[in-house]
């Protein structure tokens, strides 16, 4: 359908499962979406899940880096990330228990598309 804004959210499961090979395949399945929200977007000095996915999609990227800690001996974070074909009109973030054991967050993005706000 024309003029539809297609948005989805996915939990990338940090570095669990068949990682990183499963991450390298994900972008091929998301090409018809306009905006994608990722939970547990793994980031370390040597690998970033959303960057790997975005090589296929070439969207604008917005990330909230949270939950930085050692995972299997590698310092990494488990981020919230949004990839979007349309530049957001507003971006904000909330972080709870910053730098604490239970650090959590929210990435708030407002996108205007066809005179509607998402």
For residues 50, 55, 58, 62, the Cα torsion angle rounded to the nearest 10 degrees is 20
pLDDT tens profile 90-108: 999 999 998 888 899 999 9
pLDDT tens profile 23-75: 999 999 999 999 999 999 999 999 999 999 999 999 999 999 998 989 889 99
Looking at residue 91, its pLDDT comes to 95
Half-sphere exposure of 68 (CA within 13 A, CB side): 9
pTM: 0.90
Looking at residue 52, its pLDDT comes to 97
1 has a pLDDT exceeding 60: no
DSSP 49-105: HHHHHHHHH--EEEEE----EEETTEEEEEEEEEEESS--SEEEEEEESTTSTT-EE
Mean pLDDT of the chain: 93
User: What percentage of the chain reaches a pLDDT higher than 90?
Assistant: 79
Distances, alpha carbon 86 to alpha carbons 24, 36, 53, in Å: 23, 11, 17
């Amino acid at each position: 359908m024309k003029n539809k804004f297609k948005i989805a959210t996915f939990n990338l499961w940090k570095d669990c499962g068949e990682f990183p090979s499963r991450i390298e395949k994900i972008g091929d399945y998301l090409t018809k979406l306009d905006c994608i929200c990722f939970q547990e977007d793994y980031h370390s000095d040597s690998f970033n899940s959303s960057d790997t996915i975005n090589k296929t999609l070439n969207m604008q990227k917005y990330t909230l880096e949270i939950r930085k800690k050692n995972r299997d001996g590698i310092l990494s974070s488990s981020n919230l990330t949004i990839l979007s074909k349309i530049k957001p009109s507003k971006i904000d973030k909330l972080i709870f228990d910053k730098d604490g054991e239970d650090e959590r967050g929210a990435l708030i993005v407002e996108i205007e598309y066809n005179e509607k706000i998402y």
